[in-house]
Amino acid sequence: MNNTDQKHDVFVAIADPTRRKLIRLLAGAEELPLHELTAQFKIGRTAVSKHLTILKDADLVTNRKMGRETRYRLNPAPLEEVKDWLSYYEKFWNERAALLKNILEE
């Protein structure tokens, strides 16, 4: 996978715990300005901006300028790819859980 492919890869974007927290924060709000997002982390504004750029490159986040402020919003549609990938393995884990339950009941 080259750099361009990684730039738009949802799995690469959600691999980092800071970016997952940003997604969680944005999921709980209509829109949040950069300064409110930055306040939730022990890292600086520049670092948060870089994480948001990676999320934007994967189309997980959109932004708009309001005066001097940049506001961010979650675009959850690309997470459908992650859901689809995980649902394939859900059957596997359900079968394993049922097998374990049967063993424990014996």
Tokens of 21: 């927290």
Tokens of 57: 């490159």
Tokens of 101: 């339950």
Domains in the chain (CATH in brackets) are 3-76 (1.10.10.10)
pLDDT tens digits, 5-25: 556 899 999 999 999 999 999
Cβ neighbour number for residue 54 with a 10 Å cutoff: 21
Ramachandran quadrant class, 89 (left: phi over 0; alpha: psi -120 to 50; beta: rest): alpha
From the first residue on, what is the mean pLDDT of each consecutive set of 10 residues in the chain (106 residues)? 65 97 97 97 97 97 95 97 90 85 89
23 DSSP 8-state letter: H
Closest CA to 26 of 77, 61, 64: 61
